[in-house]
């Protein structure tokens, strides 16, 4: 697996975990966290994808979920700027990162 493929696989695995967390929460607090992240990005003008994500977060969860888990180019593009910071804790993110860390020869 080359570095780009590894990054794509890592991103998809992270999103699968985030989606599972949101699925398991009847209150969908992960979506509220995403809205808060977008508010901060908008205030800081830190991300050009904020308007698109504001629209995406208005979709029914089932439709947004499908887009986030899409394994094609569009899904990868969305995952590259997804505002779901804080849905997974640092330990959970590190565990996933370790799964995709390149192995060193020798």
Q: Is the pLDDT of residue 106 over 60?
A: no
Higher pLDDT, residue 42 or 60: 60
How high is the pLDDT of residue 105? 63
Span 57-103, pLDDT tens digits: 999 999 999 999 999 999 999 999 999 999 999 999 999 988 887 76
Q: Which residue matches tokens 């370790």?
A: 98
φ, ψ for residue 25 (rounded to 5)?
-105, 110
Average pLDDT in the chain: 92
Cβ pair 104, 37 in contact under 8 A: no
> Structural domain boundaries of the chain?
3-100
Average pLDDT over residues 31-41: 94
Cβ pair 57, 31 in contact under 8 A: yes
Give the whole-angstrom CA distance, residue 85 versus residue 95: 16
How high is the pLDDT of residue 74? 96
Cβ neighbour number for residue 96 with a 10 Å cutoff: 15
């Amino acid at each position: 697996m080359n570095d780009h493929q590894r990054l794509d696989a890592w991103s998809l695995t992270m999103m699968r975990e985030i989606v599972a967390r949101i699925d398991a929460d009847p209150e969908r607090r992960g979506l509220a966290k995403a809205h808060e992240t977008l508010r901060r990005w908008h205030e800081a003008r830190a991300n050009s994808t904020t308007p698109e994500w504001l629209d995406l977060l208005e979709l029914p969860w089932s439709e947004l979920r499908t887009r986030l888990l899409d394994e094609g180019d569009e899904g990868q593009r969305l995952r590259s700027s997804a505002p779901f910071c804080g849905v997974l804790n640092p330990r959970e993110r590190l565990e996933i990162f370790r799964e995709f860390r390149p192995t060193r020869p020798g």
